Each structure stands twice: as C-alpha cells, then as structure tokens.
Structure 1
C-alpha cells in the first residue's frame, strides 16, 4: 500500500481491509513522499499499522502495489493498481505547462500526465467510479483504456449503508430534540471554504442561535497537513461553538446526521447529495471544476449563500424550496455501480495477484458512531509566531 496523504490513506483503507483476513497475503505499507504527507504515519499507526521506508520499498519486489496517487509509483518494482481518492473526477489539472499542444485539460486521474511515464502506461490497472469516466478516458488517454475498470465508489456504498442509522449518529453527537445540525465542508486551496475563513465563516455562523443550531466543520486533511492542527485550531478561535472534526474521524456519519451541508467544490459536498441534508454552496469562482463531475452537476441546482442575508433565513428558505430529486443527477453521477465497490474492487485485486477470491462476500461496514460535538469544539487559543 503506497500512501501519499491521509486522504489517500482513507480511500486505500477501503481496499486493504478487504485483505486483512487472508493468510495468503501480507500487506506492507509505505509512506511515499508528498507535499501534504504530514500525518500519514500517525494515521496508519492509529490503525495499528507499521510502515517501511519509501527507499526500502523501492528496492523490494512486490506482487502488487496499490496507490491513490501517482507520484513516484513508476519507480516501484511491482504492478501498480491506481484508485481514485475523491467523488468522481472533480478538479481539472491546474498546471497546464506540461500539456502537449491540443491535449485537453482534464482531471488528474484521466490525464496522460498522471497515467503515462516516458511513453508507458504505468498502472497495470486503474479503477474508476462511473462508466462516464471511461468515455472521457477514451478522449484524454486512450492507451489506458485496456487497463481501466469501473468498480463504483466505496463512500457511496458506506453512506448508503449508514442512512438507516441517522438518529443513532445524531444522538451520539449530542444533539438535543429540536436541534438542527449544520455541517460545513471544505476542500483545500484559496478557493475553498477554509480559504474564506477570515470573512465568510465567522460572519455567517455567528448568526445562528446556539440553542437551535449546532455546527461542525469538516476540513480536508491537506489543510491539517499543510498548517498543522495547532494552527488550524488557532485560526478557528473566532468561531466559537464550531466543532472542528479531526482528519482521522469518520466524516461520513456527520454528513448522514446533518440537516444542512454548506460546502464548496470538494468531494464531501457531492457526497452530501446521498443524505437527507439540504446542500448549499459557498460563493466563489470555481474554474478548476469539471462541468460533468458530481460537483459540477450539483452546482447547477444547489442554492448559493450570501453574506448579505441572515444565515438562518437562507437555510430555512433552501430547505423549503428543495424539490423532489433536486440532487438526483449529481448523486447518480457518483457511482454507476452502487453497492458493488467492495466486490468489484476485490475481484480486480485478486485477479492481479493471481489468486482465487475468498469464498465469502465482502462486508460493507456503515460509518462508526461519532464522538459528541463537544469533544471537537474549539477552545481558547492565542497565536504567536515562532
């Protein structure tokens, strides 16, 4: 398992847990170099996983290497299986300097730049969530089509499995009868919700009466990796009563428990379409979004917040105006094989290993009950430059 970031580790966990009871297979983990790699070893250690150094992994022979990122995997002495780490293919390539003339600007997992090295398709297999991805791959990197597979999305399947437990999750969070939960989600980068932290978030959330509304903030692990938990908490000191969910927590339970999800162009906003929550977008330019992605489709139908009007009024208005099936197209674009990820993914892995699959179906585990919101709420903090 080649783990570049905590986000990648969370997606790979859906794969390596398919192998944990097979005595024929030993799983070895390595933390590959990455700009947002801080926290990977800590996350894996929390699961009881030890890692081998990246340099040692490069010198050893393996039967298979699984990765959610592309950096350095062409150096491995093993067939490589690439897996996407988000909700469909959302973000277009930002660095277009290496594109050849006429090459389209597409999301990373569909680009020749991320799949081909020195004229050779690196992955022995690459898996996608939707049949639509294969059609786009045929245009952007047709030489990778023979190794491409559609397996669905593990988060879609786990959220769906957890939907009947919504009241259990709300009770675990400490919500009182009549209280509403607002979940704010943020990807990373200057156009994200967290990138607007200084102006948008405190102004909007400060308007919500604490006895009626509870608020939780789900921030992309790259933000914690880039700035550190201490600094992120420090910046949130002005957002009193907001629960900052740590990157290792099972965020899916929060989405299921939410009454409203306020999001940006990140994956969690798209996954919110599977739940009972009303979804609203933060304002801001999103030139990096693929129009055919789940987020691109959602952006056409979800209302957009304004800092000029009371937040509670906007939340209630959006909930009242939400029509049946308003998010259906975006939700359906998350996976063209709902409920089948773990079975399809296991089949791809075992075929590459040259082994027969276990004679039992894989288990789709619903999200674990979360901690109470009080455990994550910001405490008094004073920052100082060191």
Structure 2
C-alpha cells in the first residue's frame, strides 16, 4: 500500500494510522511525496526519520497499489492507481483559505478538491471523525458524502491513551508545580504569532518563572515558511527565558497533555487537549479564515479572550482567574461535535481499510502508540531579576523574572549563576551562585574558599555568594558574615510534594540577611511559586565548608 503525503503535517496524520497494520506481513508500506505544496520541503526528511521506504512520484504514478492512504485531497492524487482512502489533515474543518478552491468552503471539505475534474469522487472512501462532518460535506458534495464513513480520529486516540502519562511528561519537562501555559499558533497571517509576534517573549517577561512555564506549539507549515534560522532568532529571547518549542511530530502532543492552560488562535490543534478538558483562552483577533459555526469558532466564541491591549502586569491575574473559573467538562463538552468513536477509532479505521484491501483484518487488538516523553527546554535563565515580598504571616514570597527581559515591576536584586550568566549580569548581581558539580571536568575548590574568592572578585555592594549542594541543601556567605548552611524542607504535611528550585530560596535568605543580620541562626518560611518551604539557617560545619565546588 502507499501512504501519499503532500506536507509534513499530512504525513504525521498518516503515521498515526500505522498501528492499524502492525504485525501484518501481508502489507508492504511505501511512502511518496505528492508534489505541489509550498510546505513539502521537510516531508521527505520526516519520512526518513520514520524509517519509511520512499518511492519517487514518477515511480508511484506508474504502479498500482492495493490501497492508497492520503490525508490531503490537494495535489494530483487522481494520478495514483488503486483504491484511495482520504483522511482529514486536521480536526474540525474550521478554516477557509483564500485563493484555494471554492470561496468560503472549508479546507478539506471543498468539492473543488474532493472531486475529479469530471465530477466523480476522488476517493473510494472519505474518512471522517464525526457524523456532523459528513453532514457538512453532503451540503457541498452529495457525491463525496455518499462514499463517506465515520472512523474517529487516530491522533485523538493517542491523546486518550497517553493522558495517564501526564505526570511523567511534566517531570520530563521539569515543570514541577508550575502552571504550564501552552500557546497554539497555526500558520499564516491570521495566526497567533502572525498577529501577535511579541506574545511569547511578553509572557515570558511578566509571568513569574517559578509559577509558570511556557510552551509554543507551532504549525509545521509556519516552521517551513520561516526557516529554522529565522525562527530560532525570532524566538531566542523567549527561549532563553525557558520557552519550550516541542517537535512538530508527537512531542507537541505530549506537551499538550501536560498543559494546564491553552492559549490558541483558530487553528485546530488545541481541540485535542480541549477534548481532555484543558481550560482555554482565545487569542484570535478575527479575520477571513475562521468559518462561522465551525467547532473552533464555537469554542472561541464561548472561551474567554486574551485582549491584545491587556496590560502586561495583568496577564498572570487573567490566567489565574481562568484556572479558578474552569469547571469539569467546561472545555471537553465543546469537542463532542468534533470527535466520535472515542476509544474505538483505530478499530473502525482497521475495519474500513482492510475492507478496501480485500483482506481479513488481523485478529490481535489494535492499540494506539503512546506519545513519547518530551524534551525539556534547551535553555533556562542563568540570571533573574528578583522581587521579595513579606506577607502579614511572616512568609517571604520570592518572584523571579528572566533578567534579560524587562520585568513587570521594580526588583529587589539580581541573582546570577557564575559560569553560566552573561558577564554584565554577574557584574550587577547581588546574589552570585553556582551549582556543585555543575561544571564536570572543571577544577574544584572548597565552598569556603570559592565563596570568599567570588566575593573578592566582585567587590562593593551588598553581595552574597552561594553554592547549591543539592535540592534541599545550600551554602551561602553574605559579604559581612560567615558561611551559612541552608537546609530546605517541606512546609507542613504534604502527601504529594514537588521539588522546589533552591535558588529562589537563596534569594530570600540573601534579602533577609541584609535586612536583619540577626537571623543567621533561625528559620524562615518561603513561598516559591505555589509551594511553601521551611528554611533553617546555621553556621556551616567544617565538613560542609569543604564541599567541593
């Protein structure tokens, strides 16, 4: 059989169907690139990464196949010989693209592409995720609708099967107890990053680092359109702040499962985590592409809207309010008109395609492939602008923002990691820290000596030098005081704990020591993001002072 892909995105849709044929040595799988797309450049590379056997288009059109499976009706599919089954290339049929096919017709449901020039159906079978999609098709093309069948959505099956891996994905992303906010951007001028190109960096600047983690799910076409270098340069400020940019195949879906909150334009990708009931914030500012009455239009109409003129300082409050207001079923209810056959899509698909192949289907169960663990951010900030607040209960709250971006409010001090931060940040930092063992192969020295040397190398001002020994133990020396041992423990009794980054705790200790030098032998209560920890200070022992750095 032949998998005919016109773009990288279409290929990914086809790869999600592979478990249908797993274990069947009667089926030989070939892949070909359907010419004619501006976004086909990376599709061949994606086929190679999948390990598929490729056929040049000239060879593909000269052969006859038992089945041709495609996920886009565009291109010269009619030149391929054999029964054709056509899957959607996305979810919901929400957009109409100017200059492509019939005016105001949903991309993927346009008779101009679903029918051949003589008016006969292009495909032997048109496969859909929900009966309502066939009803929409019947209004435009009764001929195509007569050959349609509902099989569900293979990609949603992977979401459903992998949703119990949420904690695992969050651990892989090093999310901790932070709120993971995922931006979804389709491609083209009406996309989120087309309309609001500064949004990723703006959110990275204003959302406290220990409370929020950001990710951007970007449509494959937009990556191709921009090119890797231009995309890297455009996103560099946000990525230096820790923005996740997951891969376009599979990895983005793992990140979507891990998400706490979605911010989306009118692209269909957000419908998948919305089906898992993730809260959603709309960021589509209108245009010609979104079709009224489509599932995405209905979802955005009912969802809160992220106003483009929202003051920077209010972004965190808006997101917190969305999370508080969300009720179980609030998002998933809007996807009922998009996805049918939940939990059974691969079974329905197997029945259909094996009928077209003229073969009895395999007897073993068909299981969706679990989504892989996502990769953590390539960059994490090495310098932070730090704000320290005290509440009426004596709790010290630490708010950190990446130092290379403009913070939303005045700060107390700068904290910078020695050996990782830019020199300009090290020169200005009041807290200079290093992680023990963080530079394998580099010369080491005792923490006692290292902290003295760092303070001598950076004279003037109220500075502290600190060493992160482990997630619960640090050493800190204020300029005018002795080396202190800093022990971090949970506050109260927690049945479920998430590790806290000790660096913001060091910022709290630094701030308190210079405000109240008499607290060297006492305890503190610190709020880091949504978690509260107890901190005990004591003079460092000789063994602790000898810790290699």
| TM-score using structure 2 length | 0.65
Q: Which residue of 1 aligns with 2:145?
A: 145
Following superposition, the deviation at residue 249 of structure 1 comes to 4.3
- In the TM superposition, 1:346-385 aligns within 5 A as 346-374=350-378
1:45 to 44, 48, 68: 48
SS of 1:30's partner is strand
Identify if the C-alpha distance between structure 1 residues 292 and 152 changes in structure 2 by more than 3 Å, giving closer, same or farther.
farther
CA distance in 1, matches of 2:140, 2:304: 32
CA distance in 2, matches of 1:375, 1:20: 38
Contact kept? 2:178, 2:211, Cα under 8 Å: yes
CA distance in 2, matches of 1:364, 1:332: 20
Following superposition, the deviation at residue 376 of structure 1 comes to 9.8
Q: Which residue of 2 aligns with 1:59?
A: 62
Q: Which residue of 2 aligns with 1:107?
A: 106
Q: Which residue of 1 aligns with 2:475?
A: none
CA distance in 2, matches of 1:164, 1:249: 16
Q: Which residue of 2 aligns with 1:36?
A: 39
SS of 1:215's partner is strand
- Larger RCO (CA under 8 A, 6+ residues apart): 1
Identify if the C-alpha distance between structure 1 residues 14 and 246 changes in structure 2 by more than 3 Å, giving closer, same or farther.
closer
Q: Which residue of 2 aligns with 1:94?
A: 98
- In the TM superposition, 1:112-127 aligns within 5 A as 112-118=111-117, 119-127=119-127
Identify if the C-alpha distance between structure 1 residues 276 and 137 changes in structure 2 by more than 3 Å, giving closer, same or farther.
closer
Question: Deviations 1:321-342 (Å, cap 9, x if unpaired)?
Answer: 2234322432212212111110
Q: Which residue of 2 aligns with 1:3?
A: 5
Contact kept? 2:19, 2:369, Cα under 8 Å: no
Following superposition, the deviation at residue 127 of structure 1 comes to 0.4
Would you say 1:320 and 2:319 are equivalent positions?
no
Contact kept? 1:243, 1:376, Cα under 8 Å: no
Would you say 1:330 and 2:334 are equivalent positions?
yes
CA distance in 2, matches of 1:375, 1:50: 36
Q: Which residue of 2 aligns with 1:267?
A: 268
Following superposition, the deviation at residue 276 of structure 1 comes to 4.8
2:18 to 16, 19, 25: 16
Would you say 1:341 and 2:370 are equivalent positions?
no
Contact kept? 2:250, 2:372, Cα under 8 Å: no
**Greater alpha carbon shift after TM alignment, 26-35 vs 15-24:** 15-24
Following superposition, the deviation at residue 24 of structure 1 comes to 0.9
Question: Deviations 1:329-377 (Å, cap 9, x if unpaired)?
Answer: 3221221211111011111111111111001121122322211233799
CA distance in 2, matches of 1:147, 1:276: 33
Number of equivalent positions: 372
Contact kept? 1:36, 1:225, Cα under 8 Å: yes
Following superposition, the deviation at residue 211 of structure 1 comes to 2.1
SS of 2:372's partner is coil
CA distance in 2, matches of 1:225, 1:199: 20
Following superposition, the deviation at residue 232 of structure 1 comes to 0.9
**Greater alpha carbon shift after TM alignment, 267-276 vs 180-189:** 267-276
Unaligned runs of 5+ residues in structure 1 are 381-386
Contact kept? 1:121, 1:143, Cα under 8 Å: yes
SS of 1:333's partner is coil
Q: Which residue of 1 aligns with 2:290?
A: 289
User: Displaced runs of 4+ in structure 1, greater than 4 A?
Assistant: none
Q: Give the RMSD, CA atoms, in angstroms.
A: 2.0
Following superposition, the deviation at residue 246 of structure 1 comes to 2.5
Q: Which residue of 2 aligns with 1:383?
A: none
CA distance in 2, matches of 1:46, 1:328: 33
Would you say 1:159 and 2:159 are equivalent positions?
yes
Unaligned runs of 5+ residues in structure 2 are 382-403, 405-549
Q: Which residue of 2 aligns with 1:170?
A: 170
Following superposition, the deviation at residue 68 of structure 1 comes to 0.8
